[in-house]
């Protein structure tokens, strides 16, 4: 496949918080159906990269979706699933309402869910193993369940690209296997998935490609090549810092 077939082309994306360059110029291409791990130490810019691509924070560079330059307000094809700890659970909202928010992009004007939207919400909840949880308040769920609700919302949004921040942290072995198998199903249907994780064993065993990040893109390739001794030393070295963007 060529970059013309890419679902996502990231070109020279860079992010600064004030004077602090959190992410130097970063470029890569994602093909339909790819499952990609994003690895790097804490503070490497993984969340920053995802939030920039989702259009939540300002950035330099271009984000091209299906060959079209995409303004940050038009990134409905990209869904960002934040870390469990970043979700404000005080907001009184039910599981079904959260997932239904993903259907908004299919309606113009005032959002009145149709029967088909309710059916899709149920289907997405079932895909993440949360059947019959529709009326539960988000605040009563465990961290892992909240993350699966947010994944269900992304599925309801029918996004082409899912970006999951630390989705596999604090998740028990059974749900890790379930998530990995759900990723495989979604990728087989053409969805592209990026997952940031610290679990290098999981990356080596379940991913074909990883992006190694530490303030800038240090490696992009097969885990067997990118997660070797010298590459790992570079990746986790404190001296590898972002360059001014
Ligand atoms: P990671 O997800 O890899 O742990 P982050 O993207 O969260 O890394 O952070 C990258 C760097 O940017 C860190 O040094 C972090 O402290 C800084 N940072 C993140 N968010 C902000 C913010 N809102 N304001 C200022 N600095 C931030």
Q: How far apart are CA 153 and CA 87, in angstroms?
A: 14
Ligand 1 pocket test, pick from 15, 20, 22, 44 with the greatest ligand atom count within 8 Å of Cβ, gives 22
pTM of full prediction above 0.75 = yes
What number does the ligand 1 atom closest to the CA of 49 have? Answer: 6
pLDDT tens-digit series, residues 20-60: 999 999 999 999 999 999 999 999 999 999 999 999 999 99
Judging by DSSP bridges, how do beta strands 8-17 and 60-65 pair with one another?
Answer: antiparallel
CA distance linking residue 69 with residue 82, whole number of Å: 24
Per-residue pLDDT averaged across 106-126, rounded? 93
Question: Stretch 93-101: mean pLDDT, rounded?
Answer: 94
With cut-offs at 50, 70 and 90, classify the pLDDT of residue 242: low
Which ligand 1 atom minimizes the distance to the CA of 18? 25
Question: For the chain, what are the domain ranges?
Answer: 1-77+161-172+192-245, 87-158
Q: How far is the CA of 138 from the centre of ligand 1 (A)?
A: 26
- Give the residue whose CA is nearest to atom 26 of ligand 1: 17
Take atom 15 of ligand 1 and give the residue whose Cα is closest: 43
For ligand 1, atom 20: residue with the closest CA? 48
| Beta carbon of 24 within 6 Å of any ligand 1 atom | no
pLDDT above 60: residue 122: yes
Q: Is the CB of 40 under 6 A from ligand 1?
A: yes
51 CA → ligand 1 middle, Å:
11
What CATH number labels 1-77+161-172+192-245?
A: 3.40.50.300
Separation of alpha carbons 51 and 43, rounded Å: 14
Contact 209/222 with Cβ under 8 angstroms? yes
Q: Is 42 in the pocket of ligand 1 (CB under 6 A)?
A: yes
Question: What distance in Å separates the CA atoms of residue 164 and residue 38, rounded to the nearest whole number?
Answer: 10
Q: Of how many residues is the chain composed?
A: 245
Assign 239 a pLDDT band (cuts: 50, 70, 90). Answer: low
């Amino acid at each position: 496949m060529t970059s013309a077939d890419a679902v996502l082309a990231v070109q020279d994306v860079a992010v600064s918080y004030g004077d602090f360059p959190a992410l130097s110029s970063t470029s890569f291409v994602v093909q339909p159906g790819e499952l990609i791990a994003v690895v790097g130490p804490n503070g490497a810019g993984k969340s920053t990269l995802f939030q920039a691509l989702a259009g939540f924070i300002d950035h330099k560079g271009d984000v091209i979706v299906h060959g079209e330059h995409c303004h940050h307000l038009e990134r409905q094809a990209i869904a960002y699933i934040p870390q469990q700890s970043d979700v404000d659970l005080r907001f009184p909202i039910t599981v079904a309402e959260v997932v239904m928010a993903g259907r908004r992009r299919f309606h113009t004007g005032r959002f009145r869910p149709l029967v088909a939207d309710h059916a899709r919400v149920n289907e997405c909840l079932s895909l993440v193993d949360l059947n019959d949880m529709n009326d539960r308040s988000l605040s009563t769920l465990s961290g892992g369940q909240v993350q699966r609700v947010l994944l269900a919302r992304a599925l309801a949004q029918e996004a082409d690209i899912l970006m999951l921040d630390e989705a596999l942290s604090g998740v028990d072995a059974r749900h890790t296997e379930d998530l990995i198998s759900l990723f495989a199903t979604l990728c087989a249907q053409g969805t592209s998935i990026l997952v940031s994780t610290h679990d290098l064993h999981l990356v080596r065993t379940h991913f074909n490609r990883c992006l190694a990040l530490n303030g800038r893109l240090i490696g992009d390739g097969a885990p067997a090549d990118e997660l070797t001794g010298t590459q790992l030393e570079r990746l986790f070295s404190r001296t590898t810092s972002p360059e001014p963007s």
